[in-house]
Amino acid sequence: MHVNASPALAQPALSARGVARRYGPKTAVEGADLDLRPGRITCLLGPSGCGKSTLLRLIAGLEPADEGEILAGGQTLSGPGVHVPPEQRGVGLVFQDYALFPHLSVLANVAFGLKHRPRKERNARALALLEKVRLAARADAWPHMLSGGEQQRVALARALAREPAAVLLDEPFSGLDSHLKAEVRQTLLSALRAAGAAVLIVTHDAEEALLMADDLALMSEGRILQVGEPRHCYLNPVSMAAARLLGEANALPARIIGGVAETAFGDVPAPGLPDGAGMVMVRPEGLRLWLEGAPAEIVSTAFGGGFHEVTVVAAGQTARLRLHGGVPAVGEQVFVTIDADRARVFAA
């Protein structure tokens, strides 16, 4: 199922329509639809092996599509009998390993794709891009002299050098230490937004995707499950599989009666859904301890830094919630309520 919850936007710089890729009996990507729009960052989120990097390679032209089409500006880049090579697609690429040329200086790496320009103009363009990623002072350095974060910023500057219509980044932060990620991410995002290109970032990190994306595409087992703005995807997932891609989600068995889903932890409105068995998805922060509600027992607590994760049981059902501040003791009897704005009901 493919749901697009983004508002009306500019025409896509690049689109995939019904794209598939197979390796013998194994299907890596199946029926993928995706639009990349100028000036917007799209994050393609999914677990390892779900096909997201393969889809990036198909868009880049590094592999042919077995089915479907990839289009840009009215031109077919991939389709039946058509395969435009990567260097003719107007796409900039940043790989996981950055792929810098070890025998070239930082400046020469960035200027590499500008050989058609005069040397002076080429170097001026490269230096301006290094300024944008805060590395102009390292223009004469060699790649091996740079940190991982610096190498990544050089790779981005090189990808932007030819003013591509789209920039594709494959797991750009996976090789960085956690304390560097926020700083490098901010620098990269600033440079990408300034360029105004359509951007696709492939990642398996839900928090990273939520922080960066203008648009999210959730992928599992070769298929795109949902496309939309981050908040919408987080609060209104199309399925439990989509919900879990964006973080922990409680799946509470429910009985739907007269437009209300009844669970062991309370009721949630379910307008328009048929009577019968159902499932309520609720995020940990959508369960609250209150003065009244469903009676439950605290069975475990764990310290998570800025919060405590608390596990509760009610009528034989288990759920996890997050508390800020005081935490009840294990074994204590409490009351739990569900924040309907943080819950989603699915019919069985």
- Distance, in Å, from the CA atom of 253 to the CA atom of 140, rounded to the nearest integer, reads 62
Give the model's pLDDT for residue 173: 85
Domain ranges of the chain: 14-90+164-245, 250-347
> What number is the average pLDDT over the span 309-329?
94
Helix (H/G/I), strand (E/B), else coil: 155: helix
> What number is the average pLDDT over the span 177-191?
85
- Distance, in Å, from the CA atom of 99 to the CA atom of 115, rounded to the nearest integer, reads 19
Cβ–Cβ under 8 Å, residues 255 and 278? yes
**CATH architecture label of 14-90+164-245:** 3-Layer(aba) Sandwich (3.40)
Give the model's pLDDT for residue 7: 45
Q: Using pLDDT thresholds of 50, 70 and 90, give the confidence band for residue 9.
A: low
Give the model's pLDDT for residue 330: 96
Sheet with 333-338: strands ordered across: 287-290, 333-338, 294-303, 308-314, 317-323
Give the model's pLDDT for residue 1: 47
Give the model's pLDDT for residue 178: 77
pLDDT tens, 267-291? Answer: 999 999 999 999 999 999 999 999 9
* H or E element, residue 59: helix 52-60
- Distance, in Å, from the CA atom of 118 to the CA atom of 127, rounded to the nearest integer, reads 14
**CATH architecture label of 250-347:** Beta Barrel (2.40)
Residue 3 has pLDDT above 70, yes or no: no
Cβ-in-10-Å burial (0-12, 13-18, 19+) of 328 comes to middle
Q: Using pLDDT thresholds of 50, 70 and 90, give the confidence band for residue 8.
A: low
